[in-house]
């Protein structure tokens, strides 16, 4: 296990105004035999952690993928699960997601309750995370699977109140998610407004395909940016996204 907890790493980076990069790997799309070549495209000096999870993953695939990553990489592995079956003790930490942008009790409390017996058998660091879907202009798998509607980015007040409610409920992170393959990432103006009202770390993910989009999220106040689909479609794009900016 890590000497310093993942959450401590995030809060330390925030206190030092050091921005973090996470790469999201989907067990439904990345086979264990492909992991080695995938990790070669990830510069561990620029990337802080690997998130593993997906909306629809066959039972056992997450466990196999995480096991292979841990054999080959020293980067922290954080579970970003679509449901409780994706929990594996081979990872370092778990984003314990509360899908508070929706009203489906399955993802507000039922999945969390189902996760408890599995978590009790592991040493996973559990990080309570307010998970908010922001409409990124596409029909996303997370919205379909969770049977919830993303909030329009124009409805800024609802998003802000939802995030603040998540903080008041004790969540340690806010994850603003535009969704896999989003046409547009979470707007910088929204991140900036939330940053002015909240002290806990903010993660922004979905639709980030360029250096400019990443820089806007960081300059607006995001503490971590997560890159998934763009890297998945073209691993070489990662260096292009991270170019010209010493983010650490």
51 sits in which H/E element? strand 49-52
- pLDDT value at 146 more than 80: yes
Neighbours of 157 (CB within 10 A): 9
> Can you list the domains of the chain with their CATH numbers?
6-241 (3.20.20.390)
As a whole number of angstroms, the distance between CA 152 and CA 186 comes to 10
Confidence of residue 1 (pLDDT cuts 50, 70, 90): low
Q: What pLDDT score was predicted for residue 248? A: 45
At 42-58, the pLDDT tens digits run: 999 999 999 999 998 99
In eight-state DSSP terms, residue 208 is -
In the structure encoding, which two tokens stand for residue 137, read together? 């202009």
CB 198 within 8 A of CB 174: yes
As a whole number of angstroms, the distance between CA 3 and CA 28 comes to 30
**With a threshold of 0.85, does the pTM exceed it?**
yes
As a whole number of angstroms, the distance between CA 166 and CA 239 comes to 34
At 98-125, the pLDDT tens digits run: 999 999 999 999 999 999 999 999 999 9
Calculate mean pLDDT across residues 65-88.
97
CB under 8 Å to 70, separation ≥6 — which residues? 77, 90, 91
Of 41, 21, 37, 5, nearest to 172 (Cα)?
A: 5
Which residue in this structure is represented by tokens 């409805």? 155
């Amino acid at each position: 296990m890590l000497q310093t907890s993942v959450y401590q790493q995030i809060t330390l980076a925030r206190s030092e105004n050091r921005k973090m990069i996470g790469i999201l790997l989907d067990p439904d799309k990345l086979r264990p035999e492909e992991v080695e070549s995938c990790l070669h495209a990830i510069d561990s000096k620029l990337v802080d952690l690997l998130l593993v999870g997906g909306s629809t993953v066959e039972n056992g695939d997450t466990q196999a993928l995480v096991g292979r990553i841990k054999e080959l990489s020293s980067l922290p592995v954080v579970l970003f699960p679509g449901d409780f079956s994706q929990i594996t003790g081979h990872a370092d930490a778990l984003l314990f997601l509360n899908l508070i942008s929706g009203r489906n009790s399955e993802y507000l409390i039922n999945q969390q309750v189902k996760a408890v017996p599995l978590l009790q058998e592991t040493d996973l660091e559990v990080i309570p995370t307010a998970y908010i879907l922001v409409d990124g202009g596409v029909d996303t798998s997370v919205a379909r699977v969770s049977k919830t509607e993303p909030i329009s980015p124009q409805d800024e007040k609802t998003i802000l109140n939802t995030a603040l409610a998540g903080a008041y409920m004790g969540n340690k992170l806010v994850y603003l998610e535009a969704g896999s393959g989003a046409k547009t990432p979470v707007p910088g103006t929204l991140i900036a407004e939330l940053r002015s009202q909240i002290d806990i770390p903010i993660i922004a993910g979905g639709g980030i395909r360029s250096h400019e989009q990443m820089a806007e999220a960081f300059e607006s106040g995001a503490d971590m940016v997560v890159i998934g689909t763009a890297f998945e479609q073209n691993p070489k794009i990662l260096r292009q996204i991270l170019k010209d900016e010493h983010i650490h």
